Structure 1
């Protein structure tokens, strides 16, 4: 077991794995993530599509037309954030968005540059690239400092060069983070910080960013829209947190057991063949598995 596991923290190698969405129109939503985000369709049947890069699945879409639309009060997904490896790749993504979709926002977060849009069913999407970690600004306590400044969109577009429209995201693309809308930040911290073992980074009265290994954030949670009821409709089905080894997974189990015994927070833990699934008080399922 790693030293981080003994200390109550997730190991630095922890990352986000796949995310899964419940959708009505599987054809249209698959086309969006293929043609706009730039993922490849790796597997597809009438009820399910798996998309990713270089043979690795990043996103699973499942048709669920019988499930109701997400209610305006429901917790759930704020956005899935696809991380590209270079500024040129972000410029290529911007080209796809401009040619084939619509850009809803663009921000410079000091540690990263990000594009924001919604998929055809209203699920939030971020496409971003990180600046080099040694260039990230920090506060006096050593924590990573972020901001939401206007992005120089034309400079990002120029970074793509003269290659024209590029259909596919680079092979090093991954899911860098997932951002949730929750009903309670204290309940979020009980499960994801005290239980799973993420460390809290940026925090405000209505937002928390948590991460492993000093990253700016692997998970975000906010209460900006005043969600008051658990997730029940379409949208986020589950997402993965990937830990490096069985020792780290056992440490997560132990921490969750301690939270269940000591805290008045509702969540459920079930065993899976490759790890565990945790359903938090907002009905959001996070699957923790080994790499």
Structure 2
């Protein structure tokens, strides 16, 4: 086999599609609290954007949804929107405070992050990266990531005098983080077959992985319990996320690796579709900006 073992530098998360129980309520939340805008709506599905051109989030309403207890099944822990700079995160924090929503937070050394839940308990992170040349690694080569308190006053000061107009252009899905039922099984899928590389280990309970030396494009944890079952399809959660690859060659290499590892891959219109062991969907395609 001539396929490379790892994903090439430049791989990006594209968009995330999640299930919600009440589309109208969720649209209001993602517009007013998160700061996204409607790009287009079709029936019970809406595409949302930051820049008016690129879809970051798709909301799909499901009928008769059962609302699960947080952290009870494998599936979405959070999706993370990366904003371009610290003033943008300061504006976001100010808007979240004004909304009255509960805000979690963490200074991870590589980034500053804010955490919220949507009305269906779908987790959302809003964060900004520190410059890559400031990221530090430990003796084992893992990025050093902490969970220290965020300098909220400093964030708000960085946004002083600026006006909130929603998430700015340049905001992207920076990473996704999932509950899984087994870390070894997750590693076989996402690292050994798909081609991400480990960047940080959080004891025996979480693994962070990326392509191209980013601190993490994906987080995988067993905080919902070893052996946690997949989220039911009639509950809010994630349908799929997209992965933007560097070339058609890389797309073919990934397809070959996944099939050789025994996973089912379908191809249509230049997109590879597959599901991880917990029924989380992935759609892989070539980044249009790479062609």
- Name the TM-score, length of structure 1 as normaliser: 0.92
Deviation at 1:143, TM superposition (A): 3.4
| Alignment correspondent of 2:165 | 167
State the distance in 1 between where 2:42 and 2:11 align: 31
Deviation at 1:6, TM superposition (A): 4.3
| Alignment correspondent of 1:290 | 286
- Kindly provide the CA deviation profile for residues 29-50 of structure 1, in whole angstroms up to 9, marking residues without a partner as x: 1111111111111012431111
Deviation beyond 3 Å, 4+ runs, structure 1:
66-73
Gaps of 5+ in 2: none
Tell me which of 45, 49, 53 is aligned to 2:50.
53
- Say whether residues 1:40 and 2:37 are aligned partners: yes
Tell me which of 257, 269, 273 is aligned to 1:273.
269
Deviation at 1:71, TM superposition (A): 6.3
Gaps of 5+ in 1: 261-266
Deviation at 1:141, TM superposition (A): 4.2
- Kindly provide the CA deviation profile for residues 50-75 of structure 1, in whole angstroms up to 9, marking residues without a partner as x: 10122100000011124433466421
| Alignment correspondent of 2:91 | 92
| Alignment correspondent of 2:253 | 251
State the distance in 2 between where 1:158 and 1:104 align: 18
Deviation at 1:189, TM superposition (A): 0.8
Give the conservation status (yes or no) of the 8 Å contact 1:78–1:181. yes
| Alignment correspondent of 1:223 | 222
- Kindly provide the CA deviation profile for residues 118-145 of structure 1, in whole angstroms up to 9, marking residues without a partner as x: 0111100000000000111122344322
Superposed, which structure 2 residues align to 1:1-291 within 5 Å?
6-54=3-51, 55-70=53-68, 73-164=72-163, 166-203=164-201, 204-226=203-225, 228-232=228-232, 233-260=235-262, 267-291=263-287
Give the conservation status (yes or no) of the 8 Å contact 1:81–1:175. yes
- Name the TM-score, length of structure 2 as normaliser: 0.92
State the distance in 2 between where 1:144 and 1:109 align: 10
Give the conservation status (yes or no) of the 8 Å contact 2:3–2:257. no
Q: How many residues align?
A: 280
State the distance in 2 between where 1:287 and 1:46 align: 22
Which segment drifts farther, 249-258 or 9-18?
A: 249-258
Deviation at 1:101, TM superposition (A): 3.8
State the distance in 1 between where 2:119 and 2:154 align: 27
CA RMSD of aligned residues (A): 1.6
- Kindly provide the CA deviation profile for residues 200-220 of structure 1, in whole angstroms up to 9, marking residues without a partner as x: 111120101010000000000
